[in-house]
Amino acid sequence: MKIGKKEDLQALREKCAMYESWLRALDEHGKFDLWFKDKDSQYRYVNKHFANTMGRTKAELVERTPEDVFGADRAERVRIMDRKVMNDGLLQRVVPCDESGALEVHEENRFVVNDEQGNPVGLGCLAFETTEKSMAEEALAQAQQMAQLGNWRWSVRDKCLISCSEQFANILGVSFTQAFSTMQNRADKIIHPDDRQLVREVDNRKGEIGFGGYDIEYRILLSDGVERHVREIAEPLMGNDGTPVEYAGTLQDITDKKTTEIELLRARDELELRVEERTADLQHMANHDVLTGTLNRTAFVKQIEVRLAESGDLKAAFIVLDLDGFKNVNDCYGHAAGDLLLQIVAERLKQRMDGRTLVSRLGGDEFGICIISTEIDAAGAKQICEDIERTLAAKIKLGSCEVFVGCSFGIFMIENSTTPIAEAYKSADIALYRAKKSTTQTIMQFEDKMAEEAAYRHKLEQDLRKAVNEGSLGVAFQPQVVVQGEQLVGFEALARWQHPEFGAIRPDLFIQIAEQTGLINELGKQVLDRACLETAKLNRSFDKSFRISVNLSSRQFDDHKLVDYIANACRTHSISPDMLELEVTENLFLNNSDQTKATLDAIRELGARVALDDFGTGYSSLGYLRRFEIDRIKLDRSFIKDVNWSASDQRIVRGIISLAQSLNISTIAEGVETDQQREFLEECACDEIQGFYYGVPSSADVLTDLMSKGGERYAIHHLPDVLAV
Ligand code: C2E
Ligand code: MG
Ligand code: MG
C-alpha cells in the first residue's frame, strides 16, 4: 500500500479503524485461539482466548519467545513445529490442550503469513477447541478400537510424530501425549530387544528416495512388562521435490492373532509328533506279528529280498520251524495257554539270534528263521536247527501247567540272490512236511525229489476235491465174522478212490489229505450214505440184518451236524441204528472234551454203537474206555501180525481181551490172515475177526454175487481169491 494524497490517508485511517474494530471484536468474542508469530517464533499477536487457554495475560505472551513461554524442553519442539509450518506452508493437526493427556483437544490450522511480495514473514495459528468430537471422529475412534488399530503421521525431517490417534497411544500403552515422546527414538524405549534392529533400520531409511512404503511386524514391551505383537504399515507422503516429507501409517495390535498363530503352530507340531508316533506304531504293526512281536511273513520275505539284493554275494539258509503237538496244547489247556507258548517260543528264538538272522512267525505254530551270510552252508544250518531244538526242549511253564515242546525243521539253502523267496519258503515247507512225517528225523533239508512228491500230493488234493464233489468215490466192504461158529455178522465199509491217472490210491493217504483239507466231512458223509444203502440192499437180498461199521475221523466231530446225518442215513436206508457201528480212533479222546463226550452220547442215544479202532497203537487208557462208554475194541493189526511167534504180542493180545471182558466191552481182531492167528484168537476168547483170512474188502456187487452162489460161508471163504477193491 502506497501513502499518497490526504484523502487517501483519511480513507486508510478509516480502513485501519475498521480492521481494528473487527480485530477487537474477534479478540473480545472469538471462541477460538488466534496468534501470529514472526519468523523467529516470537509471538506478535495473541487473542484473549489464546491467552486464557495458556493461562496468561496477553502481555505475558506478546513479544515473548517459546523459551519464555514454555521453557527450554518444550520450546525446542515448538520451534521444530514452527519451522515445519514455514517450510511446508500449512499444517493441520489435532493436539491435546495440555500435557495431562485429557481428552480436550484443539483442531489447529497453522499457516505461513506472507508480505505483499509473497515472502514469508511469520506464521499464524487458528485453533478451535473440539471438546465434543464429531460423530465421524467418534465412529473412527471406535472402529480403530475394535480393529485395535491406530493411525499416525511422522515427520521425516524432524524424526518425530506429528499426529496420532488415541488408539495408537493405547496400543503403545501410553497416554495420548506420552505417545509423542515415546515415539522419539522409539527403538530404545518400547521395542522388544530382538526387533530393535528391524525398527531402527526402517526409521533410518524413512527419508530415502525409493524406500517407499513398508509393512513390518515386531514386538513392543509395555512398561508393565507385557509383550505385544504389532503390525506397522506405512506409506510416504512426498514433498514438491519428490522426497518423502512425511510417513502416514497404521499400527495394529496383532497379539491375539499372533498368539493364536503360535498356538496353532504348537498344536500342529504336537499333531505332527503324534502322527509320527502313530505312523511308527502302524508301521511296526504292519511289519510285525501282533502276538509274538517277530516280523510277520510279508516283512520277513521283504527284508530277506532287500538284504540279498544289497549284497550280491550273500547266501542264506531259509528255515521253517513247526511245533509238534501244538494243537494238543490248545485243546487241553485253552487258547490263552497256546498263545503264551507261542510267545515263549518266539522269545527263545529271538534270544538265539544275531545280526545276520531274521525271525518271523509265519502263521499258526510255524516260524521262519533266515540266516543271511557268506559263510552259511547246509551243515551250518542244520547245526543251528539242532541248537534251537535244544533251546526249545527245556520245559515251558504255562501258568499252572508245564509242557515240553518238540519241533520239526525244513531247510532250504538259497545259493544266489536271484532265488525268489516265495520259492525258498515253499521248498523249506516241503522239507518241513517230510520232517513232520518222518519218525526218525526232525530236521530235513530240501531235495529236488521232494518237490516232485509235493507236486504229486498237490495234484492229489485237487483231484480228490473233484472226486468228492462229483461223488465218485467208491466203498468196499470187508466181512466181520464171529469166531465161534464162523458166522458172518457184518462188514466194515472202507472208502476207495480210483484215480483216473494213478489208479487206486491208498486210503490212508487220501484220508489224510481229506483230513488236512477239510474234505473229510463231505467224504465221510458220502461213505456213510453209501454203506447204509448197500447194506440195506444186501439185507433185502438175503433177508438178513448185517451190521455195518463205518470209520469216523476225529475231524468229523467238529461238524455239529454229524449226529443229524448219521440219523438221516439210517432213516433214509431203513438201517436199524443198532446195526450201525461207528469206528473212532484213540486220538479223538486226546482233548477229553465235553463236546466229544456229548456227541458220542448223542450217537449212542440214537441206538448206534461205538468201536475203538486200531486199539493199542495210540494213547488209550482205561479212563477213556469208561468215560466214553465204548461198545467194542478193535485190536490193531500190528499185534496180530506176529502173534503166533511173539510172546510179548501174545501177552498184549491176551491182556487187551481180558481187560475188555472185565469192562464188558466186546472185541474184534483186525488183520487176521492165517488159520493159526484165528486159532490163537479163538483160544483167547476174542469175539470177532476181520481180515484177509475171511475176505479182502470187496465191492457190494462181488459180495452179492458170491453170496448168491454159495451163501455166507462160501462168500467169506472165497473172497481172498477174488480181486480185492
Ligand atoms: P482201518 O479202519 O483200520 O481199516 C482196516 C484196514 O486194514 C483196511 O485198510 C483194510 O484193507 C486193512 N486190512 C484188513 N484186513 C487185513 C489183513 O488181513 N491184512 C492186511 N495187511 N490188511 C488188512 P484200508 O482199506 O487201506 O484202510 C486204511 C485206513 O484208512 C483204515 O484203517 C481207516 O483208518 C482209513 N479209512 C478207510 N476208509 C475210511 C473212511 O471212509 N473214513 C475214514 N475216516 N477213514 C477211512
Ligand atoms: Mg476201521
Ligand atoms: Mg483198524
User: Is the Cα dihedral 323, 329, 335, 336 positive or negative?
Assistant: negative
Q: What is the mean pLDDT of residues 224-250?
A: 88
Give the model confidence (pLDDT) of 350-380 as tens digits: 887 778 899 999 999 999 999 998 889 999 9
pLDDT band for 439, please (50, 70, 90 cuts): confident
Distance CA(366)–CA(408), nearest Å, equals 10
The reply to whether 147-260 and 476-723 are identical in fold is no
pLDDT at 487: 93
pLDDT at 146: 74
pLDDT at 97: 52
pLDDT at 32: 86
Q: Which atom of ligand 1 is nearest to the CA of 552?
A: 44
Q: Tell me if 205 sits within 8 A of 211, measured CB to CB.
A: yes
Residue matched to cell numbers 484168537: 681
- Phi-psi category of residue 503: left, alpha or beta, with phi > 0 → left and psi -120 to 50 → alpha: left
Residues at Cβ < 5 Å from ligand 3 ion: 613-614, 670
Q: What residue's CA is closest to ligand 1, atom 7?
A: 671
Is CATH 3.20.20.450 the classification given to domain 476-723? Answer: yes
pLDDT at 134: 54
All residues at 6 or more sequence positions from 380 whose CB lies less than 8 Å from its CB, including other chains: 317, 371
Measured from CB, residues less than 6 Å from any atom of ligand 1 are 478, 494-495, 507-508, 511, 524, 527, 551-553, 583, 613-614, 637, 670-673, 690-692, 697
pLDDT band for 394, please (50, 70, 90 cuts): confident
Give the model confidence (pLDDT) of 22-64 as tens digits: 888 888 888 888 899 999 999 999 988 888 888 889 889 999 9
Instruction: Tell me the CATH number for domain 287-446.
Output: 3.30.70.270
pLDDT at 18: 86
User: Is the Cα dihedral 129, 135, 138, 144 positive or negative?
Assistant: negative
Give the model confidence (pLDDT) of 9-22 as tens digits: 888 888 888 888 88
pLDDT at 721: 55
Q: Does residue 592 surpass a pLDDT of 70?
A: no
pLDDT band for 398, please (50, 70, 90 cuts): confident
Q: Which atom of ligand 1 is nearest to the CA of 475?
A: 41
* Burial class for 312, CB neighbours closer than 10 Å (0-12, 13-18, 19+): exposed
pLDDT at 132: 46
pLDDT at 470: 96
Q: Does residue 100 surpass a pLDDT of 50?
A: no
Distance CA(334)–CA(399), nearest Å, equals 11
Q: Which residue has the higher pLDDT, 304 or 74?
A: 304
Percent of the chain with pLDDT over 70: 94
Give the model confidence (pLDDT) of 326-344 as tens digits: 888 888 888 889 999 999 9
Q: Which fold has domain 147-260?
A: Beta-Lactamase (3.30.450)
Q: What is the mean pLDDT of residues 220-247?
A: 88
Residue 35 to residues 43, 70, 677, Cα–Cα distance (Å): 7, 15, 151
Least confident stretch, 93-107, 164-178, 371-385, 629-643: 93-107
Instruction: Please provide the DSSP assignment of 274-332 as one string.
Output: HHHHHHHHHHHHHHB-TTT-SB-HHHHHHHHHHHHHHSTT-EEEEEEEEEETHHHHHHH
pLDDT at 620: 57
pLDDT band for 99, please (50, 70, 90 cuts): very low
Q: Does residue 576 surpass a pLDDT of 90?
A: yes
Nearest 5 degrees, angle CA 411-CA 415-CA 420? Answer: 80
pLDDT at 352: 73
Instruction: Please provide the DSSP assignment of 72-84 as one string.
Output: HHHHHHHHHHHHH
543 Cα to the center of ligand 3, angstroms: 28
Residue 575 backbone dihedrals phi, psi, to 5 degrees: -100, 125
Q: What is the mean pLDDT of residues 118-122?
A: 90
Give the model confidence (pLDDT) of 458-489 as tens digits: 999 999 999 999 999 999 999 999 999 999 99
Give the model confidence (pLDDT) of 133-191 as tens digits: 455 566 677 777 777 888 899 888 888 888 888 889 999 999 888 888 888 888 888 99
Q: What residue's CA is closest to ligand 1, atom 46?
A: 551
- Give the right CATH number for 18-129 from 3.40.50.170, 3.40.50.1370, 3.40.50.300, 3.30.450.20: 3.30.450.20
* Alpha helices in 148-195, H assignment, sequence order: 166-172, 176-182, 186-189
Q: Which atom of ligand 1 is nearest to the CA of 556?
A: 44
Q: Does residue 103 surpass a pLDDT of 70?
A: no
pLDDT band for 451, please (50, 70, 90 cuts): confident
583 Cα to the center of ligand 2, angstroms: 6
Q: What is the mean pLDDT of residues 262-291?
A: 87
pLDDT at 96: 55
Instruction: Locate the DSSP E strands across 596-725.
Output: 609-615, 632-635, 666-669, 688-689
Q: How many CB atoms lie within 10 A of CB 428?
A: 28
Q: What residue's CA is closest to ligand 1, atom 31?
A: 508
Q: Does residue 301 surpass a pLDDT of 60?
A: yes
If you average pLDDT over every residue of the chain, what do you get? 88
Distance CA(210)–CA(242), nearest Å, equals 10
pLDDT at 94: 63
Residue length of the chain: 725
Any idea where the domains of the chain sit in the sequence?
18-129, 147-260, 287-446, 476-723
pLDDT at 101: 41
Strands 547-551 and 580-584: parallel
The residues with which 117 forms a beta bridge, in sequence order, are none
pLDDT at 187: 84
330 Cα to the center of ligand 3, angstroms: 27
636 Cα to the center of ligand 2, angstroms: 10
Q: What residue's CA is closest to ligand 1, atom 8?
A: 494
564 Cα to the center of ligand 2, angstroms: 21
Q: How many CB atoms lie within 10 A of CB 105?
A: 20
pLDDT at 199: 93
Distance CA(345)–CA(289), nearest Å, equals 14
Residue matched to cell numbers 483231484: 463
The residues with which 477 forms a beta bridge, in sequence order, are 493, 698
pLDDT at 351: 85
Nearest 5 degrees, angle CA 187-CA 192-CA 194? Answer: 100
Question: In whole angstroms, what separates CA 411 from the centre of its chain?
Answer: 34
pLDDT at 528: 98
Q: Which residue has the higher pLDDT, 537 or 716?
A: 537
User: Is the Cα dihedral 554, 559, 564, 569 positive or negative?
Assistant: negative
Distance CA(595)–CA(588), nearest Å, equals 11
Residue matched to cell numbers 451236524: 561
Q: Which atom of ligand 1 is nearest to the CA of 496?
A: 38
Site to probe by mutation for ligand 1, drawn from 550, 551, 632, 641 as the one with most ligand atoms within 8 Å of Cβ, is 551
Site to probe by mutation for ligand 1, drawn from 477, 494, 640, 668 as the one with most ligand atoms within 8 Å of Cβ, is 494
Give the model confidence (pLDDT) of 181-232 as tens digits: 888 888 888 999 999 999 999 998 988 888 889 999 999 999 888 999 999 9
Q: Does residue 713 surpass a pLDDT of 90?
A: no
| Per-position b or e across 443-457, b if 16+ CB within 10 A of its CB | bbbbeeebeeebeeb
Site to probe by mutation for ligand 1, drawn from 532, 644, 670, 725 as the one with most ligand atoms within 8 Å of Cβ, is 670
User: Is the Cα dihedral 463, 466, 468, 470 positive or negative?
Assistant: negative
Q: Which atom of ligand 1 is nearest to the CA of 693?
A: 18
